[in-house]
Structure 1
C-alpha cells in the first residue's frame, strides 16, 4: 500500500509530503516539533553525538541560523537562542554557577534580573553580592570569594545610563579565572561588543533592539569560545570532570566552546527555555536592520535629551550622550555610532507632573517595553521599581517625577512636539 491508496485519514496526514530541498534567500521557518531520521543508525548517531536535528527543543535549523547570526554580530564564537531575555540571564548564570556558589553583580540592573538573583537563585543556594559603585575596581575585587563563579553587569544600565568599564571589570575577573557576563540589551552589538573588551559571555533580551518590532519574545546567550580548562577548570568542575557513565567531559568534547556547549546541551533544553522557530525567524529578520535602527534611535535620543535638558520643567536628564552625564567620558570610550536610545529624565513637579506627561503624550506609547521602533514612556517608581525602597530608588536616580523613555525611529520633530505639548501643562503648574 502507498500513501496515495491509503484511507482518507492517512492521506490527510501524509499525502504531498516530500523532502526536497530548495535554497531560500530568507531563513526558512522550520515550524516543527521534531525531525525525521533517515534510518535507525541516523537516530542513534544523533542521540549519541548531538549532531543534526532531532527535536526542536534541542535544536532547529531556523533557530541555529539566528544563533550564528547573533554570535557574529557580537563577535562571539557561538550562541544559544532562548525564549526570553530573562531566560538568557538564567541560562547564562546556571551555566557557570550552582549550589554553594557566589555571583558578584552590579546593583544597577534590570529588576527582573535582580529578582532572579535575590529570590530564585538564592533558593538554589547561589548567593549574590551587589556592587553600588560599579566604577570602583576595588569594590569588584573585594567582593570576589573563592566560590565566585561570575561577575555580572549591564553595558548601559537601565535606567540611569550608568556605563560599565567592561575592560576594567573583565581584567579583575581574569585575575580569578571568573567570567564577566554582560547584559548588552541596551548597548546592542551595533554600539558596543563586550566580548571585544574582555567579557566572556554576553546576554540579550532579543525582544528589544535585536528584534526591534516589539512583536515577539526571545533571548540569546553569546560566548567568546575561550574557556581554558587548565586555568579555569577549578571554578567549573561540571565542565572538566567526566560526565555520567564515563562520558568525556564537556571541555574534552568541546574545548574552548565548553561553556556554550553546556548551555546548549544541559541548561537551556532541560529547563525548557527553547524559543519558537517563528519567533527566531522574526528576531533574525529584525537583526538585519539593527544598525540602521539603532543609529537613528540614538540620534533621535540625543536630540530629545538635549531639548529636555534645556526645558524649564525638567530638573535633570540622565543620558550618557550628554556632556553633563557622569559617565559621558566612559560612553565616548566604549560606544560607537551613538549612545543608545533609553534614558530617564526627572520633572520638577514630581509624581503629578509625571502623571500629566504620561497621560498627555500621543506619539509616545505608554507601555512596559524598550528597544521598539516606536517611542515609549514609563514611570519607573510605580512600575518597574515599585518594589524597591525609596532609599534604593533614590540611589538609582528613580524619583517620583522620573520618567523613562525609549526613543524610536519617528521624526524627531514630532517627538519633541509631543513632549512640548505635555510639558507645557507641567510648567504651568510648577512655574
Structure 2
C-alpha cells in the first residue's frame, strides 16, 4: 500500500505515505475535483456496490482523499482510515458505527466541551446514553460504570482544555476485559507525539482542523482503525458479524477481516450521512501533514518556555501543562508523550473571569480565536466560548473555572510570544 516501509519513521511517512505511481508520486498529489467517476461497464459498477475497491461517488470516497487517508493510516499504524468534514463528525460516526438506540458508551469527563454536548445531548436524542467517569477513577469504579449495553470507552490523549493526560493502557485493559473497544481522540498529541494503538487503543479519531492542518485553512476530521479488535470474538457486535441487509447481505468480519470497522463506517454511515470532505480540502490537509513533525517539535519547545515563564508570574493562580515536572499528569506524559505535550497551555488568572477578560483583551501578538493548534499564537476563554453550553457542574467536571484561559502557543519567535504575554499580564 505504501511506497515507504511500514517501519519507516514518522517524518518519512508524513512525506511519502499515500503516494503511489498512479497518483504521480511525492509532491504531485492530484486534486480529483469530481463528484463522480466513469466506468467501462454496468458490471464494473455493480461489482463495486458489492465490494467497494475503488471510488465510485465522492459522497463517500475520492482519490485525493484516499491518498491522505492512506498517509494518516501509516502515521498512526492502523489498517485503514476515513476522512470526515470535521472532528465532531469523526467522533459522531466513530460512536454510531458501534452504538444503536438502547446502547451506551463510557467516556471520561474531561473531554472537549463540544464532544460533551454531542455525547450528553445529541446522542441521548438518538437513544444512546453516555456514562461519565473521572479520568482518575480506580479500575473498579470505571468497570462499575460499564453496563451490559455498553459498546465502547472514549477518551482524549490530551484533554481540551483541561490538558489531563489519558491513561490509555489502563482504560484499554478495562475495555478489553469487557469485550468492548477503546476509542481515543488523539487531536492534540497527533501521531508525532503519541500513537495510541501501541498502548492498546482500537480506534483513533482526530480533528484534522487542528495540528494536522496547522494553518487554519480548512476543517476536517478522520477516523483510523487499528484492525486489532476482534469483533466476532466479542459477541456484542452483531452488525459486524451478521449480514447487512442494507448492503447486499455483506458480513463485515467475514468479507473485510481486520478492516471490518472502517469499511462498515464508510459503507453504512458515510453513505447515509455524506459528511465527506472535498478533494481540495484533502489536498490542503496533506500539505499540513508534510510539515507536521517539524512543527510539533517547535510547538512543544515554545510551549515549554512559555509555561515556565507563566509559572513565575504572581498574576497567575495555576499553570497546567503536562510537560512541567510538577504537573499532576507529568508521569503519564512521560509514559505516553515522551517527545512533548503539544503547544497548548491552560492557565487560571487570579481574579477570575474579569481578570481573564482584561488579560486577553490586552494581548497584541496573540489573537482571540475560536481555534487552537494554529501556527499563530491564539487564546480562548473556554467558559465563555467552547464550553459555554455546559452547566457549572459540567464545567467543574471538565476542569474549567471562570479564570481559565487556553493558550495555543504558535511558531512565532518565543521571545516575542513571552513579551506579549508579559505586557498583557501587567495590565491585569
Compute the TM-score of the two structures, normalised by the length of structure 1. 0.91
1:23 paired with 2:17, answer: no
Deviations 1:344-365 (A, max 9, x none): 1011122222111111111111
> Aligned match of 2:158 in 156, 159, 169?
156
1:387 paired with 2:389, answer: yes
Contact 1:381–1:393, Cα closer than 8 Å, also in 2 = yes
1:70 aligned partner: 72
1:308 paired with 2:310, answer: yes
Give me the whole-angstrom Cα distance separating, in 1, the residues matched to 2:351 and 2:228. 51
Give me the whole-angstrom Cα distance separating, in 1, the residues matched to 2:282 and 2:363. 33
Deviations 1:314-336 (A, max 9, x none): 11101111122111111011103
Deviations 1:87-143 (A, max 9, x none): 000110011111111100010011111111111111111111000244532222111
2:349 aligned partner: 347
1:59 paired with 2:68, answer: no
Give me the whole-angstrom Cα distance separating, in 2, the residues matched to 1:105 and 1:153. 6
Structure 1 unaligned runs (5+)?
Answer: 1-20, 427-431
2:117 aligned partner: 115
Structure 1 residue 383: deviation in Å?
1.2
Mean Cα displacement is larger for which, 378-387 or 367-376? Answer: 378-387
Give me the whole-angstrom Cα distance separating, in 2, the residues matched to 1:231 and 1:134. 29
Q: 1:376 to 1:140 in 2, by over 3 A?
A: same
Give me the whole-angstrom Cα distance separating, in 2, the residues matched to 1:145 and 1:97. 13
Give me the whole-angstrom Cα distance separating, in 1, the residues matched to 2:155 and 2:319. 22
Give me the whole-angstrom Cα distance separating, in 1, the residues matched to 2:221 and 2:367. 23
> Where in structure 1 do 4 or more consecutive aligned residues deviate above 6 Å?
none
Secondary structure of the 2:70 match is helix
> Aligned match of 2:84 in 82, 85, 88?
82
Mean Cα displacement is larger for which, 379-388 or 239-248? Answer: 239-248
Secondary structure of the 1:221 match is strand
Give me the whole-angstrom Cα distance separating, in 2, the residues matched to 1:269 and 1:139. 38
Give me the whole-angstrom Cα distance separating, in 2, the residues matched to 1:386 and 1:87. 20
Secondary structure of the 1:145 match is coil
Q: 1:358 to 1:246 in 2, by over 3 A?
A: closer
Give me the whole-angstrom Cα distance separating, in 2, the residues matched to 1:397 and 1:128. 19
> Aligned match of 2:40 in 38, 62, 65?
38
Give me the whole-angstrom Cα distance separating, in 2, the residues matched to 1:379 and 1:313. 17
Which has more radius of gyration? Answer: 1
2:376 aligned partner: 374
Q: 1:62 to 1:349 in 2, by over 3 A?
A: same
Contact 1:227–1:258, Cα closer than 8 Å, also in 2 = no
Give me the whole-angstrom Cα distance separating, in 2, the residues matched to 1:396 and 1:177. 27
Mean Cα displacement is larger for which, 345-354 or 285-294? Answer: 345-354
Give me the whole-angstrom Cα distance separating, in 1, the residues matched to 2:158 and 2:328. 13
1:239 paired with 2:247, answer: no
> Aligned match of 2:325 in 319, 323, 326?
323
2:50 aligned partner: 48
CA RMSD of aligned residues (A): 1.5
Deviations 1:395-428 (A, max 9, x none): 43322222111111111000000001101111xx
Contact 2:209–2:221, Cα closer than 8 Å, also in 1 = yes
2:261 aligned partner: 259
Contact 1:354–1:403, Cα closer than 8 Å, also in 2 = yes
Give me the whole-angstrom Cα distance separating, in 2, the residues matched to 1:246 and 1:283. 34
Q: 1:269 to 1:22 in 2, by over 3 A?
A: closer
Contact 2:111–2:398, Cα closer than 8 Å, also in 1 = no
1:18 aligned partner: none
Contact 1:134–1:140, Cα closer than 8 Å, also in 2 = no
Q: 1:345 to 1:33 in 2, by over 3 A?
A: same
1:260-275 alignment runs, 5 A limit = 260-275=262-277
Structure 2 unaligned runs (5+)?
Answer: 1-21
Compute the TM-score of the two structures, normalised by the length of structure 2. 0.92
Contact 1:170–1:179, Cα closer than 8 Å, also in 2 = yes
1:276 aligned partner: 278
Give me the whole-angstrom Cα distance separating, in 2, the residues matched to 1:50 and 1:399. 49
Secondary structure of the 1:312 match is coil
Give me the whole-angstrom Cα distance separating, in 1, the residues matched to 2:399 and 2:101. 34
1:118-267 alignment runs, 5 A limit = 118-232=120-234, 234-244=235-245, 247-267=249-269
Secondary structure of the 1:105 match is strand
Give me the whole-angstrom Cα distance separating, in 2, the residues matched to 1:119 and 1:195. 29
Secondary structure of the 2:319 match is strand
